[in-house]
């Protein structure tokens, strides 16, 4: 199967990837269900907390309706563990030679992070068909994405970092952008306060705006 088609099928009709940092497995389950209820098919749980692996395992077991990604993968040694925990895809903030080899060898799709044209071309040469562009807003926002897409051929782009309801359409409207990552619908304070209705409301806003663009 074509690699970009893999990503399109994973994301469904609302190509927004909610980026979640959560330390409690029960809250990981609750926020994943809330995001899915708002129309976002995928959830990216990051390896930024001490209990991240337990959260991944719990969501994989209890929320099978979501397509579960694992983000902030920074070491080759983490790849096998998160795949075993139930990840359907992996995301990294950057790419080293060792990490590139591990991601290429893993049995699920991987989205390596880049911040420059040189890094994007290196990822393409390593065999990746799509990359995460991070931190997108710091790098120059949609203008940077348009410039990057003009020189990286068919490489798919997924901007993450600073994407929200007011900028989502601009990002998704850039050539070569097939999805956008956003933490706005699942901010840490919403998780801490168990405001699952607000998480669903925000997810619905992003899902609807994404569908309007496509």
Residues labelled as active-site residues: 44, 132
From residue 89, alpha-carbon distances to 35, 121, 123, 191 in Å are 17, 21, 17, 23
Beta bridge partners of 181: 17, 160
Angstrom distance (rounded) from CA 214 to CA 212: 6
Q: Which two tokens stand for residue 108?
A: 């699920």
**C-beta of residue 100 within 8 angstroms of C-beta of residue 123:** yes
Taking the chain, what is the end-to-end CA distance rounded to the nearest angstrom? 22
CB atoms within 10 A of CB 107: 6
Cα separations (Å) of 33 from 27, 90, 162? Answer: 10, 20, 23
The tokens describing 162, both together, are 């600073």
């Amino acid at each position: 199967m074509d690699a970009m088609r893999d990503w399109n099928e994973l994301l469904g009709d609302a190509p927004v990837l909610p980026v979640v940092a959560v330390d409690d497995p029960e809250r990981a389950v609750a926020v994943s269900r809330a995001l899915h209820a708002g129309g976002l098919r995928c959830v990216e749980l990051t390896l930024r907390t001490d209990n991240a692996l337990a959260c991944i395992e719990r969501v994989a077991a209890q929320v099978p309706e979501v397509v579960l990604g694992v983000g902030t993968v920074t070491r080759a040694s983490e790849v096998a563990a998160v795949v075993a925990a139930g990840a359907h895809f992996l995301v990294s903030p950057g790419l080293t030679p060792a990490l590139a080899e591990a991601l290429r060898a893993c049995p699920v799709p991987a989205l390596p992070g880049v911040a420059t044209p040189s890094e994007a071309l290196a990822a393409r040469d390593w065999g990746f068909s799509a990359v995460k562009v991070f931190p997108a807003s710091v790098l120059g926002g949609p203008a940077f994405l348009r410039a990057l897409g003009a020189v990286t051929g068919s490489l798919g782009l997924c901007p993450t970092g600073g994407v929200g309801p007011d900028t989502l359409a601009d990002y998704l409207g850039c050539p070569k952008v097939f999805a956008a990552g956003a933490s706005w619908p699942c901010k840490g304070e919403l998780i801490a306060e168990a405001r699952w209705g607000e998480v669903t409301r925000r997810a619905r806003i992003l899902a609807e705006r994404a569908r309007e663009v496509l």
